[in-house]
Amino acid sequence: MDFPINPPIGERVRRKETQRFVTGTGRFVDDLLPPGTLHASFTRSPCAHARINSVDASAALTMPGVRAVFTGKDIADRIKPMRVGGSPLLRPLKLYPLAVDKIRYFGEPVAVVVADNRYLAEDAVEAIAIDYEPLPAVIDPEAALEPGATPVHDVLGGNKVYKFHFATDGIDEIFAKADVVVKERIRSHRITACPIEPRAYLAHYSPDEDSLTMWSATANPHSLRGRIADVINFPEGKIRVIAPDVGGSFGVKIQTYQEELLLPFISRELGRPIKWCETRVEHMRNGRHGRDQIHYIEMALKKDGTILGLRDRIIADMGSTYTVDHSIMASALYMTGVYQIQNYAVDATGVSTNKTTHGSLRGIGKADAAYVIERLVDIAARKLNIDPIDIRMKNFIPAESFPYRNVTGALYDSGQYHLCLKRTAEIAGYEKLKQEQAELRKKGICRGIGVALVMEPTSSSRIHATGGYASCRMRIDPSGAATVFSSMGEQGQGHETTIAQIVASQTGIPFEKITVIHGDTLPTPYGFGTGSSRSSVVLMPSAWVAAKKMREKLVGIGARLIGVPPERLEIGDGKVFAKEKRDQAIAIAEIIRTAYGAIHLLPENMEPGLETMGTFVNPNIDYAPDDKGRMNTFSSYPYAGVIAVVDVDVETGFINIVRYCTVHDCGNMINPQIVDTQQQGSIMQGIGAALYEELRYDEEGRLLSSTFMDYRLPCVEEVPELALEHIVTPNPFTPLGAKGAGETGMLGPPPALCNAVEDALAPLGVKIRETPLTPDRILDLIEKAKSSHG
């Protein structure tokens, strides 16, 4: 296939955004303060599960600077409940922005105080007297499913809120006849994304104009606009949502939050701008959490390592006020990973517990699947005494089978898994590593080598949830500069740069003269949020479509002006010129002047001006399951081979990553520099998930890890020696040949590091089934293994 990868597409162009961020001149919600702004603060539940007997705000209302207090009861009959979105398989719930009669998780907002400044608001929050009647907290998702378990939502009766089943014919016979069956319980633990900027909102209702402006650190401005309109019953056309600079999302800012819907309501009630910027503690307790799945998984194999079938039972902890099912759906549909496995059965159950709402987080659900399958393949290899690379090579989907229809109906666009892992082994020096490992073992040093090949379904489309398209509108101004209006905002992805690269490549307008406007619902075309690594799969092609139309227009006008047919013209050096006779040319500046000012010279039927619109529909998507329940909800499938080398300190349980080697394939890269930095950051986030980070609840359902002292993120000193390479297998379904590039990095470390640590401790017979790999957990496993070996 032929891809229009002309410069500056494909170049390491420096990001337009970098300057303002590194010089501290970015503008975030917290930098904004319209005159008359009031500040909100929330009373949050100190327990995880309780009935609210009463809320008394009378004392708070008399405190200095306090303008209003709202409780759940105050708002429940005045606003509509929030929607539980994304799937007919989720049991519906009525959720309000403030708890009405029952608390369902630690930190849930119960009341909101509005005051002249945040300090006074916080003081008043302490004065609100709430009578709670504690109920048993439902924390363990397996216990939550047992008969007689306390229900988190009374109206539902039980805690099972989601059910999905899929099975191919004859799966049981396959297991019955297999040479070997490996069977494990593997759990992915609960983490959160920790963007550097927590959530931040500023709602400004103007009584004069009867209109609402909402500044939000959101990754999803257009959807938010519709939700606000719906919940507070206000015309969507009178709402403008603006996401100014946003300090990271990693998924957690793509969904709508209760505070985000409440602030517009309050602003409208009081006729004043209302601001609330979340603290880190609030974010840890209320921001979306991710992972937290238990898998009872079995794999049937032949003695030679050929995988015959896979059977999984998933129990996913959805938290209390679950809103989407993407996590569990993605795990269930993509468990077979990069392998030719056409016999598969899964039973997935979503459970409601008294924990924070589960939702999007870089690699949602797909990370769980990649983790579990890449662990299981390794465990099988060890059992069969086959090299972990060999067993993978034996079962990979071969390059010539793409596009490949997997067992659950997904159509993988393209891939060269064999080549990728081969190259990873080369850069890691795999054979030499094994020799070194043997020598180090003799000296008592526990070195481990961990292999994984992780695949990340990207660019999802679910009905009414993530949409299936993106748009860019562009204009060339009479001065010759271009402005592009993007339907998707950015939170660090570098769209301002990559969109400009595409437009420059197509239209010949210099990169420096292209401005990208995003995150504002007023000037930008409608579109869904930035997530699922969708930008390079749908947004960039939409910019390409808009720019291509613009190119056609420029060339068309040029053709008319110099009397050469368009198909013989080329754009370059600020000119439109004839390919064979370069001196037959006209300056683009002249064409632009003509388009605006001398419209009698335009080709027949051409509209004056230079504005175009490009929309790109997510290719390769099936919205509805077929009669066997198969569907394809993602459109592109990047992947990465990983070899991690670790040393385990058997006295302290500490893990040192000696080297992390990875070969990544996201198809064509619009800007390899941005892809590299996405990978690096993503890999570090994965290392954090594997080794350090964990959201831990106590038995009463209180979150213990509510600050960065208790939820440790890796920092620059934890960055290992990183070898990062790319291979390029273009995505045949998009005009740019690009696949998603934001998440694959994060998928690698959990399986690769677990495999490496298990390999390091293999002589002791240590098995890793729980994460994170904290020193105390590792040392405990070592000691148990030692004592059981006598």
The separation between CA 78 and the C-alpha centre of its own chain, rounded to angstroms, equals 33
Provide the mask over 28-67, with x wherever binding to other proteins is found by CB under 8 A and - wherever it is not: -------------x--------------------------
SS3 content of the chain, % helix, strand, coil (to 5): 30, 25, 40
Q: Does 776 bind other proteins (CB under 8 A)?
A: yes
**Which of positions 197-216 make contact with other proteins (CB under 8 A)?**
none
Question: Minimum distance from CB of 113 to other proteins (Å)?
Answer: 12
Question: Minimum distance from CB of 464 to other proteins (Å)?
Answer: 37
Question: Minimum distance from CB of 131 to other proteins (Å)?
Answer: 22
Q: How many CB atoms lie within 10 A of CB 173?
A: 12
Backbone angles phi, psi at 263, to 5 degrees: -60, -45
Provide the mask over 676-695, with x wherever binding to other proteins is found by CB under 8 A and - wherever it is not: ----------------x---
Q: How far apart are CA 236 and CA 238, in angstroms?
A: 5
DSSP assigned state of 755: H
- Report whether 576 contacts 569 (CB < 8 A): yes
Task: Please report how many Cα atoms fall inside a 13 Å half-sphere around the Cα of residue 219, on the Cβ side.
Answer: 28
**Which of positions 643-672 make contact with other proteins (CB under 8 A)?**
651-654
Which CB sits closer to other proteins, 180 or 281?
281
Which CB sits closer to other proteins, 28 or 654?
654
Q: How many CB atoms lie within 10 A of CB 303?
A: 10
Question: Minimum distance from CB of 713 to other proteins (Å)?
Answer: 7
Q: Does 696 bind other proteins (CB under 8 A)?
A: yes
Please state whether 54 falls in left (phi above 0), alpha (psi between -120 and 50) or beta. beta
Tokens representing residue 623 in the block: 């919205």
Q: Does 400 bind other proteins (CB under 8 A)?
A: no
- What size, in residues, is the chain? 790
Q: Closest Cα partner for 371 from 418, 327, 413, 407?
A: 327
Which CB sits closer to other proteins, 624 or 716?
716
Question: Minimum distance from CB of 657 to other proteins (Å)?
Answer: 12
Helix 540-562 and helix 588-597, axial crossing angle in degrees, nearest 10: 90
Question: Minimum distance from CB of 749 to other proteins (Å)?
Answer: 15
Q: Does 116 bind other proteins (CB under 8 A)?
A: no
Q: Does 119 bind other proteins (CB under 8 A)?
A: yes
Q: How far apart are CA 329 and CA 360, in angstroms?
A: 12
Q: How far apart are CA 1 and CA 403, in angstroms?
A: 14
Of the residues 108, 123, 317, 374, which one makes contact with other proteins according to CB under 8 A: 123
Question: Minimum distance from CB of 93 to other proteins (Å)?
Answer: 31
Question: Minimum distance from CB of 692 to other proteins (Å)?
Answer: 6
Question: Minimum distance from CB of 457 to other proteins (Å)?
Answer: 31
Q: Closest Cα partner for 262 from 118, 120, 113?
A: 113
Which CB sits closer to other proteins, 116 or 122?
122
Q: Closest Cα partner for 264 from 202, 209, 207?
A: 202
Q: Facing residues of 351 across strands?
A: 160, 317
Tokens representing residue 61 in the block: 């209302």
Which CB sits closer to other proteins, 41 or 542?
41
The separation between CA 21 and the C-alpha centre of its own chain, rounded to angstroms, equals 22
Total residues contacting other proteins by CB under 8 A comes to 31
Of the residues 118, 441, 593, 659, which one makes contact with other proteins according to CB under 8 A: 118
Question: Minimum distance from CB of 270 to other proteins (Å)?
Answer: 21
H-run or E-run covering 638? none
The separation between CA 333 and the C-alpha centre of its own chain, rounded to angstroms, equals 17
Which CB sits closer to other proteins, 263 or 421?
263
Which CB sits closer to other proteins, 671 or 706?
706
Which CB sits closer to other proteins, 267 or 705?
705
The 3-state DSSP class for residue 224 equals helix
Which CB sits closer to other proteins, 263 or 782?
782
**Which of positions 697-736 make contact with other proteins (CB under 8 A)?**
704-705, 707, 709-710, 712-715, 717-718
Which CB sits closer to other proteins, 119 or 596?
119
- Report whether 162 contacts 346 (CB < 8 A): no
Which CB sits closer to other proteins, 97 or 714?
714
Which CB sits closer to other proteins, 155 or 709?
709
**Which of positions 273-332 make contact with other proteins (CB under 8 A)?**
279-281
The runs of H, that is alpha helices, within 63-218 are 72-76, 118-126, 141-144, 171-177
Tokens representing residue 459 in the block: 């660019």
Contacts to other proteins by CB under 8 A: 41, 118-119, 122-123, 126, 279-281, 651-654, 692, 696, 704-705, 707, 709-710, 712-715, 717-718, 774-776, 779-780
